[in-house]
Structure 1
Amino acid sequence: MEKIILTGDRPTGRLHLGHYVGSLRRRVELQNSGQYDKIFIMIADAQALTDNADNPEKIRQNIIEVALDYLSAGLDPARSTLFIQSQVPELCELAFYYMNLVTVQRLQRNPTVKAEIQLRGFAEGAAEGDTTQRQGIPVGFFTYPISQASDITAFKATTVPAGEDQEPMIEQTREIVHKFNAVYGPTLVEPQILLPENSVCLRLPGTDGKAKMSKSLGNCIYLSDTADEVKKKVMSMYTDPDHLRVDDPGKIEGNTVFTYLDAFCTPEQLTKYAPDYASLDELKAHYRRGGLGDVKVKRLLIAVLNEVLDPIRERRHYYEGRIEEVYKVLEAGSAKAREAAAATLAEVRNAMRINYFEDKELIAEQARHYAARQ
């Protein structure tokens, strides 16, 4: 069996460090490893429209932002297929068929769906716990786990690099695969999630210390931020509120600056920017016992992040001067993705016995049947 990756992002804004450590950095590593036969990277505009239907221009304008982030992070169109979800209409047809395999009650129990409904404020004016009657929940948004299953299975993905918050979604896809194959025969491929190896990267907190970096919360450091913007955001980062003076003992737990250092700082960078410490653990121990100020630690993080982002900024600048070329990459990738999805859809239609015009045996059999009745 081929080893195939499918993953992507909603084009609701520029990508940030949470996207980068959660999956984007890993995608580039997997692409460059040569271990996978095919890699599909999707800009999920159709999914983004499920809760942005009144602002399509937002999605339209952010297609190029996400594409620039992909290319600047190191995704290579020669090795990864970059495509736009809405340009592969076969995905909609697959999702329609899968809807018959999932109950409303099962969608209600999906933790990711419930969390996203709360996050987007769809729950106002309804009884607690009743997701079907809540005001303002678009049907497309409520059923997006089914759409996601369509995206994954259309390309026969065996691996989906994602953060831990997406585990319930991948489990829902596996359930759909099991149900379809049980009803119609072995057709679809069951995917597995690939989580970040560094546990800190599973859910990078925002600069304000909130549980998750989120565009809607305004607590992001973007891949396209300038060095000065990174410096400003890091210097305002949440640390230990009780660490008022340099000599005060400090807490590492819940301290956003140290969380980011765990996610990004390599031993080589520590030696380069903080040569007085042999390891991050030694730096943390100094902070815990007192005598190490927040500003010094933040300056270390600024240096580390800008070293990570400098080559990304350089590549982005290159592609920003070649926007027409970027759109050609997306157009070619979308055509390639549509070809792959169409092949899977043909297999699905065949398994479901709705391939009427291609089933010559059915036509011949019925012709003989009615001829015999003449």
Structure 2
Amino acid sequence: MSVARMLTGDRPTGRLHLGHYVGSIVNRVRLHQRYESFFIIADLHMLTTRNRREDIDQVSRNARDMVTDILAAGVDPARATFYLQSAIPEVGDLNTLLQNLVTVPRLERVPSLKEMARDSGKEEMPYGLLGYPVLQAADILCVKGQVVPVGKDNAAHVEVTREIARRFNHLYGEVFPVPELIPSDTPSLVGTDGQHKMSKSRGNSILLSDDPETVRRTVMGMYTDPNRVRADVPGTVEGNPVFAYHDAFNPDREQVADLKGRYRAGRVGDVEVKEKLVVALNRFLDPIRERRARIEADRGLVDQLIVEGTERTRREVRQTVVEVRRAMGLTGAYQQVRRRAERSRRLPTAST
């Protein structure tokens, strides 16, 4: 019995951070041992919000950093296929064939698209961003992905994929599996500013590649309870990002419970709470740093993984597009015209 396929990935906009880890990477590390796993480096999706030449020029470096981060987090390179989306033009072909299976009003109901436009400073919705879920459907269906791990922000996108797959199969025959969503059980991680989701562009993130001193400096500057002016003032734990990070990354549950109790009672200062968070985060990141060092010492490894994975994936996608065109009858239309043209060339020309 064949192993089910998983499709997951990220846009190559820079190094990954703790928000990526809790929102998706920890799930991928667990799942990639169970499924045949494809990791997309989604640079075409990046163009929907970052399409300046200087952004595009950073893709190759960001792609290497992204793959390095994922491997350092615990993904086994022998059990993962990494590929660069823009190096597989057939994905664009499939996107074109699928885009008529969904309506504009349906896409406008995807809640995260307006948020993405707003966060990238777009006053109006670009056509490509509105079609983001369709291209994402092409990404998933081009490798016949059967499972997709998602955070809450992407669940609505993948639901569009499921609808497109069902619609295609109904119209043209069973070609695509209808992918299942595997939701993350961890909510999105608030940034160190306590105001927004963690994001590289907002400067409120802790990177998986940060060194211990950078982590310490960032944590000591974190937002806490704004109403707490002294250590003996009872503080609020709920919504406090320092405690959200303790919950996510500090395995010493007794220590976390003690800190929360004393914080609410006004018997511990922010400095002590943050110092203990620094220790917990660096303990969490140390194994990732060690794996990163080994990966970076193996020169050319990441580039080789991307090239081999892209070539393998392109072979898969070419076959899928052939099946799609055949199911839709598009190959037959051209063959009919071609046969007529060949017959006409065999006929003798009329004498004058």
Which region of structure 1 is more displaced relative to structure 2, 325-334 or 63-72? 63-72
* TM-aligned CA deviation for residue 40 of structure 1: 0.6
- Does residue 80 in structure 1 map to residue 95 in structure 2? no
Superposed counterparts of 1:317-332, under 5 Å: 317-332=293-308
C-alpha change, 1:77 and 1:358, in structure 2 (3 Å) is farther
* TM-aligned CA deviation for residue 47 of structure 1: 1.4
Which region of structure 1 is more displaced relative to structure 2, 278-287 or 228-237? 278-287
1:40 alignment partner AA: F
CA distance in 2, matches of 1:7, 1:286: 41
Per-residue CA deviation, residues 59-82 of structure 1 (Å, 9 max, x unaligned), is: 233122112212211222211111
Which region of structure 1 is more displaced relative to structure 2, 57-66 or 296-305? 57-66
- Does residue 47 in structure 1 map to residue 22 in structure 2? no
CA distance in 1, matches of 2:179, 2:156: 13
* Corresponding residue for residue 275 of structure 1: none
Per-residue CA deviation, residues 211-230 of structure 1 (Å, 9 max, x unaligned), is: 30011111010111110000
* Corresponding residue for residue 273 of structure 2: 297
Which region of structure 1 is more displaced relative to structure 2, 315-324 or 63-72? 315-324
* TM-aligned CA deviation for residue 179 of structure 1: 1.4
Is the CA contact 2:49–2:117 (under 8 Å) kept in the aligned structure 1? Answer: no
CA distance in 1, matches of 2:75, 2:282: 20
* TM-aligned CA deviation for residue 343 of structure 1: 2.5
CA distance in 1, matches of 2:316, 2:74: 24
Q: For 1:255, which of 229, 240, 260 is the aligned residue?
A: 240
* Corresponding residue for residue 211 of structure 2: 226
* TM-aligned CA deviation for residue 357 of structure 1: 8.9
1:166 alignment partner AA: N
- Does residue 150 in structure 1 map to residue 138 in structure 2? yes
CA distance in 2, matches of 1:265, 1:66: 25
* Corresponding residue for residue 10 of structure 2: 9
SS, match of residue 165 in structure 1:
coil
SS, match of residue 283 in structure 1:
helix
* Corresponding residue for residue 64 of structure 2: 64
* Corresponding residue for residue 104 of structure 2: 104
* TM-aligned CA deviation for residue 312 of structure 1: 1.3
CA distance in 2, matches of 1:153, 1:232: 43
Gaps of 5+ in 2: 348-352
Per-residue CA deviation, residues 280-313 of structure 1 (Å, 9 max, x unaligned), is: 3343222112201111111111111111111211
1:317 alignment partner AA: A
CA distance in 2, matches of 1:93, 1:243: 57
* Corresponding residue for residue 167 of structure 2: 179
Is the CA contact 1:48–1:59 (under 8 Å) kept in the aligned structure 2? Answer: no
Q: For 1:345, which of 312, 321, 331 is the aligned residue?
A: 321
* Corresponding residue for residue 236 of structure 1: 221
* TM-aligned CA deviation for residue 322 of structure 1: 3.4
CA distance in 1, matches of 2:28, 2:235: 36
Gaps of 5+ in 1: 124-133, 271-277
CA distance in 2, matches of 1:112, 1:336: 32
C-alpha change, 1:138 and 1:109, in structure 2 (3 Å) is same
CA distance in 1, matches of 2:107, 2:299: 39
2:22 alignment partner AA: V
Runs of 4+ in 1 over 4 A off after TM superposition: 357-360
C-alpha change, 1:100 and 1:279, in structure 2 (3 Å) is same
Superposed counterparts of 1:191-206, under 5 Å: 191-197=179-185, 201-206=186-191
* Corresponding residue for residue 249 of structure 2: 264
1:116 alignment partner AA: M
Identity %: 43
TM-score, reference length from structure 1: 0.85
Q: For 1:309, which of 285, 290, 295 is the aligned residue?
A: 285
TM-score, reference length from structure 2: 0.90
CA distance in 2, matches of 1:299, 1:285: 17
* Corresponding residue for residue 92 of structure 1: 92
Per-residue CA deviation, residues 171-197 of structure 1 (Å, 9 max, x unaligned), is: 111111121112112221112222222
Is the CA contact 1:227–1:306 (under 8 Å) kept in the aligned structure 2? Answer: yes
* TM-aligned CA deviation for residue 358 of structure 1: 10
* Corresponding residue for residue 30 of structure 2: 29
CA distance in 2, matches of 1:283, 1:346: 60
